């Protein structure tokens, strides 16, 4: 088996925590894991792309090649669109419908597409997937920083490879103490979004 | 016994050094290499330091090596450029305790101002042996071997990981080590080697020492060639046909990735050492007509194989970076597939990649200063002054450099670290009538900026140097420096007194608090009207770091945009450009994004109509 996952978002959205949870899950099942992320200017609101590859066979390159991704997790709408080429024909996506404007869209140089346009483009380009309001949910729970954990909850629900309760155990294990309760709530909330 | 850990490639490199008994490690932060040195803070009994720049770091590592302990210098490719002068001497002298230099490359320039292949400097130019790891596990193993071989051959070894090795995450074996077995410092004079000077060497017919040591280096190079014939990092994988694929470092992994998608099994030669193992390569070439070399970033190995074919009169098509596939940027599995198809049009590709059609324009995402950062209000005022006096602003590297992009477009240049001050001096002496400014960060200033400032003063130049001092190397993740007052371990350290420094070199020193808009403007105005060199120091801690540590930067104030008063003039966006200010094209008005705003209220002073309050 193999599971090639890509998480696309913006610096500060917590994609690293999400990859750590999923990696730990795979490692506990004795699978090979290899990943990489582009983190250059991530702390300054730049794009962040995390590649995560899980397989029972040897994995060579840490990069998921275009058209080979099994799962594309989009933490932010245009970062998701930017990486859509990675998704395999039979792959699926989970998109957090959330717009973080860029410096240029703020300026009015670029135009940030509307939610309707984004949804239409995504449905046109991809067959299988889920569009969810993870950040809205996280904000309802009190902290947008939990977007990543809400998304993990969705993944645990929709993907047979990731057993819901087992992923939860890892969220529990690696969450910093002061966020533990919030994170578990966010994880549960994710399940209810799909 | 050891254990296995899922860690970043950079920490695998640190661990390799620790298990090898490294006693001294020095470097300067730079993506993708930074975490390697940070990793040493976890271990006891090792001196690790953020040096002022990479040449100093290499000097420190060399001094430790000649004192007979194992040492490491850590840098990214730009740092290797900076340390080249020393590299071009230590290659001649050789070393004592094992010395390994990490020169991390960033193909595609994901986090760099340029892209380059540092193998050219360290190997083609300095003739030093290089390990080019294909993955993080191999990188760790190479570090350990490099220390053994470094001492065996008396040569400094280079590890050249690319970003995808540094920033990969993999399961790494952590082995035990015995600190008691590591050698203790013991200096031994070896004046024939360590005194590099143009003195005669009678036993070699009176040639000068530089030539004698060059001869030594050339002989060492041959020795290394032999040594690498048996290296575990170079191997052949059998296949069919007369087209061979050569994978160097990370290039090998893309070949293996692509191999799973190709309907034919090609013979593969994995090459991860320089010098190249000539005999091994000649063996591989025997029944081939073509080979394609996959390497990052320049055709280094490709050219060496061409040379080898020429020396051995082998008619062979050697294809690669020199034009057969794109000569710039990162490799991908797709590039390997495309190149193989081009060389072998008959080959079938399983599951050919078909791009998804996406009918929407995707805006680019550039970086900017964080919301709340003091640099934003500082740059705002520099822009006002520069506009008023028609100044030219020379830029440097650091968080402030985001002022070079839209919306501010303040700085006119970004080159390498420290270049701003010297270039401004040049523009002044060229006779440019407009006032010249340079903007430089604190860490960059201590790296190589202060030489430019001393020079500007010494030459009787005229410029305003704006020193953006946030007491840390923020862009790479808050590494301390000579102006921070702490060292790599977070312990208290000496701090350069910039006032005394400015006084000693004869420049006029000013201080501003960038959150005090009015006085910042007035001080800059005063500076631009002065004779000689003015140093305007803006000292406030990095907002991102400081707010995490609970530092209070300003009295938080709720700010709103009065939608009646806002006339969409865009001044707040074009001259200030805080990401919490959102321009709505539909009604041509600005509003503040509540989720992003940190209530510094600096934007309120920017709006001339008083719409923000």
Spatial separation of the C-alpha atoms in residues A173 and B389, rounded to whole Å: 59
Query: Under an 8 A CB cutoff, do B357 and A121 touch?
Result: no
C-alpha separations of B475 from B104, B250, B512, B592, B604 in Å: 17, 26, 22, 26, 27
3-state secondary structure of B6: strand
Residue B355: per-residue pLDDT: 78
pLDDT above 80 (res B351): no
Q: What is the pLDDT of residues B486-528, one digit of tens each?
A: 999 999 999 999 999 999 999 999 999 999 999 999 999 999 9
For A117, which of B257, B360, B407 is closest by C-beta distance?
B360
Residue in B417, B505, B410 with CA at minimum distance from that of residue B455: B505
B413 SS3 class: strand
In the CATH hierarchy, which fold is given to the domain comprising B554-613?
Answer: Alpha-Beta Plaits (3.30.70)
Q: B374-548 sits in which CATH class?
A: alpha beta
Task: Give the pLDDT mean for B335-351.
Answer: 95
User: Strand, coil or helix: what is B337?
Assistant: helix
Q: What's the CA gap between B287 and B267, in Å, rounded?
A: 11
- The answer, yes or no, to whether residue B42 has pLDDT greater than 80, is yes
Minimum CA–CA partner of A46 in chain B: B367
User: Which superfamily, per CATH, for A2-191?
Assistant: Pyruvate-ferredoxin oxidoreductase, PFOR, domain III (3.40.920.10)
- Chain B residues touching A84 at Cβ < 8 A: 356, 358
Interface test with chain B among A46, A57, A65, by most B beta carbons within 10 Å: A65
Every domain of chain A and the residues it spans: 2-191
**Helical residues (DSSP H) of B492-596, grouped into ranges:** 498-505, 517-529, 543-548, 571
CA distance B584 to B564: 14
Whether A78 and B363 lie within 8 Å, measured CB to CB: yes
* Side-chain half-sphere exposure of B270, counting CA atoms within 13 A: 24
- Whether B235-343 shares its CATH topology with B554-613 is answered no
Task: State the best of B163, B357, B367 to mutate against chain A, taking most chain A CBs within 10 Å.
Answer: B367
pLDDT of B70 > 60? The answer is: yes
How far is the C-alpha of B424 from the C-alpha of B565, rounded, in Å?
A: 41
pLDDT, tens only, B208-264: 999 999 999 999 999 999 999 999 999 999 999 999 999 999 999 999 999 999 999
pLDDT band at B271 (very low <50, low <70, confident <90, very high): very high
Where are any strands of DSSP class E within B199-257? 200-201, 207-208, 235-237, 243-248
Per CATH, the architecture of B235-343 is what?
Answer: 3-Layer(aba) Sandwich (3.40)
Orientation angle between helical segments A164-174 and A180-191, nearest 10 degrees: 160
Check if the beta carbon of residue B121 is closer than 8 Å to that of residue B86: no
Looking at per-residue pLDDT, the higher value among B206 and B584 belongs to B206
Lowest-pLDDT choice from B199-208, B340-349, B574-583:
B574-583
Domain ranges for chain B, please list them. Answer: 3-227, 235-343, 374-548, 554-613
- Strand pairing partners for B584? B589
- Inter-residue contact A117 to B360 (CB < 8 Å): yes
Residue closest to B80 by CA, chosen among B54, B116, B99: B54
CATH of domain B3-227: 3.40.50.970
Please give the share of chain B, as a percent, with pLDDT higher than 70.
100
Residues of A in contact with B33 (CB under 8 A): none
Residue A41 has pLDDT above 60, yes or no: no
Cβ distance B579 to A106 less than 8 Å, yes or no, reads yes
Q: Cα B335 to the chain's mean position, in Å?
A: 25
What strands, in cross-sheet order, belong to the sheet with B508-512? Answer: B392-394, B436-441, B463-469, B533-539, B508-512
Lookup result for tokens 């000693």: B504
pLDDT at A112: 92
Is residue B332 very low, low, confident or very high in pLDDT (cuts 50, 70, 90)? very high
Minimal C-alpha gap between A72 and chain B (Å) = 13
Residue pair B69/B97 in contact (Cβ under 8 Å)? The answer is: yes
Give me the helices (H) in B344-493, please: 374-388, 419-429, 442-444, 450-458
Q: How far is CA A34 from CA A63, B39, B549, in A?
A: 9, 20, 33
Of B252, B333, B577, the CB nearest to A103: B577
Q: How far is CA B234 from CA B16, B237, B270, B274, B473, in A?
A: 20, 10, 5, 10, 38
């Amino acid at each position: 088996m193999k599971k090639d996952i890509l998480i696309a978002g913006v610096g500060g959205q917590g994609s690293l925590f999400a990859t750590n949870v999923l990696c730990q899950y795979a490692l506990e099942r004795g699978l090979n894991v290899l990943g990489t992320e582009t983190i250059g200017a991530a702390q300054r609101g730049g794009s962040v792309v995390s590649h995560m590859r899980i397989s029972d066979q040897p994995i060579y390159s840490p990069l998921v090649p275009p058209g080979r991704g099994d799962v594309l997790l989009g933490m932010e709408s245009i970062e998701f669109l930017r990486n859509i080429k990675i998704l395999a024909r039979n792959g699926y996506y989970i998109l957090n419908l959330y717009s973080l404007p860029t410096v240029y869209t703020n300026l009015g140089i670029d135009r940030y597409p509307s939610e309707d346009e984004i949804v239409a483009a995504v449905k046109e380009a991809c067959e299988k997937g889920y569009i969810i309001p993870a950040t809205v949910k996280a904000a309802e729970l009190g902290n947008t920083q939990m977007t990543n954990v809400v998304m993990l909850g969705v993944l645990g629900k929709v993907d047979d490879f990731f057993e819901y309760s087992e992923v939860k155990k890892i969220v529990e294990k690696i969450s910093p103490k002061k966020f533990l309760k919030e994170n578990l709530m966010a994880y549960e909330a994710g399940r209810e979004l799909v | 016994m050891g254990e296995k850990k899922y860690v970043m490639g950079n920490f695998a490199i640190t661990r390799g050094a620790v298990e090898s008994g490294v006693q001294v490690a020095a470097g300067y932060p730079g993506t993708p290499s930074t975490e390697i040195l940070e990793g040493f803070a976890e271990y006891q009994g090792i001196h690790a330091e953020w040096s002022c720049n990479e040449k100093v770091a290499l000097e420190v590592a060399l001094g430790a090596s000649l004192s007979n302990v194992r040492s490491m210098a850590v840098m990214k490719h730009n740092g290797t450029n900076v340390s080249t002068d020393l590299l071009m001497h230590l290659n001649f002298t050789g070393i004592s305790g094992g010395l390994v230099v990490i020169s991390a490359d960033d193909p595609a320039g994901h986090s760099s101002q340029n892209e380059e292949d540092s193998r050219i400097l360290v190997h083609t130019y300095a003739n030093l042996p290089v390990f080019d790891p294909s993955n993080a596990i191999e990188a760790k193993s190479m570090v350990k071997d490099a220390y053994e071989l470094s001492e065996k051959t008396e040569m400094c070894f280079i590890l050249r990981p690319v970003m995808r090795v540094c920033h990969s995450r993999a399961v790494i074996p952590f082995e035990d080590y015995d600190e008691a077995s590591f050698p203790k410092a013991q200096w031994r004079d070896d004046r024939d080697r360590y005194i590099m000077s143009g003195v005669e060497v009678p036993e070699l017919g009176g040639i000068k020492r530089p030539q004698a040591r060059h001869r030594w280096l050339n002989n060492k190079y041959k020795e290394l060639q032999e040594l690498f014939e048996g290296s575990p990092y170079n191997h052949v994988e059998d296949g069919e046909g007369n087209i061979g694929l050569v994978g160097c470092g990370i290039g090998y992994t893309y070949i293996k990735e692509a191999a799973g998608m190709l309907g034919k099994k090609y013979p593969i030669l994995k090459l991860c050492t320089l010098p190249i193992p000539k005999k091994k390569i000649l063996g591989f070439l025997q029944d081939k007509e073509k080979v394609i070399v996959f390497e990052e970033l320049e055709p280094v190995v490709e050219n060496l194989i061409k040379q080898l074919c020429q020396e051995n009169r082998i008619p062979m098509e050697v294809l690669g970076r020199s034009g057969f596939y794109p000569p710039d940027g990162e490799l991908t599995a797709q590039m390997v597939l495309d190149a193989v198809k081009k060389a072998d049009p008959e080959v079938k590709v399983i599951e050919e990649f078909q791009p998804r059609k996406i009918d929407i324009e995707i805006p680019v995402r550039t970086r900017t200063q964080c919301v709340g950062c003091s640099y934003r209000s500082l740059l705002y005022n520099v822009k006002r002054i520069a506009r008023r006096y028609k100044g030219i602003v020379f830029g440097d590297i650091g968080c402030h450099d985001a002022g070079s992009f839209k919306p501010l477009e303040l700085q006119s240049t970004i080159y390498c670290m420290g270049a701003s001050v010297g270039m401004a001096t040049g523009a002044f002496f060229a006779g440019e009538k407009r006032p010249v400014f340079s903007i430089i960060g604190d860490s960059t200033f201590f790296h190589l900026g202060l030489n430019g400032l001393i020079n500007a003063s010494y030459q009787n130049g005229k410029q305003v140097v704006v020193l953006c001092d946030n007491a840390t190397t923020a862009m790479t993740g808050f590494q301390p420096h000579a102006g921070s007052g702490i060292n790599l371990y977070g312990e208290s350290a000496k701090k350069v007194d910039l006032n005394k420094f400015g006084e000693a070199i004869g420049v006029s020193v000013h201080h501003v608090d960038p959150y005090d808009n009015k006085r910042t403007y007035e001080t800059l105005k005063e500076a631009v009207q002065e004779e000689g060199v003015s140093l305007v120091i803006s000292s406030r801690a990095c907002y991102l770091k400081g707010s995490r540590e609970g530092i209070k930067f300003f009295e938080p104030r709720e700010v709103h945009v009065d939608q009646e008063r806002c006339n969409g003039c865009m001044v707040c966006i074009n001259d200030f450009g805080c990401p919490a200010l959102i321009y709505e094209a539909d009604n041509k008005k600005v509003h503040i994004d509540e989720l992003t705003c940190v209530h510094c209220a600096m934007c309120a002073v920017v709006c001339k109509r008083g719409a923000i309050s």
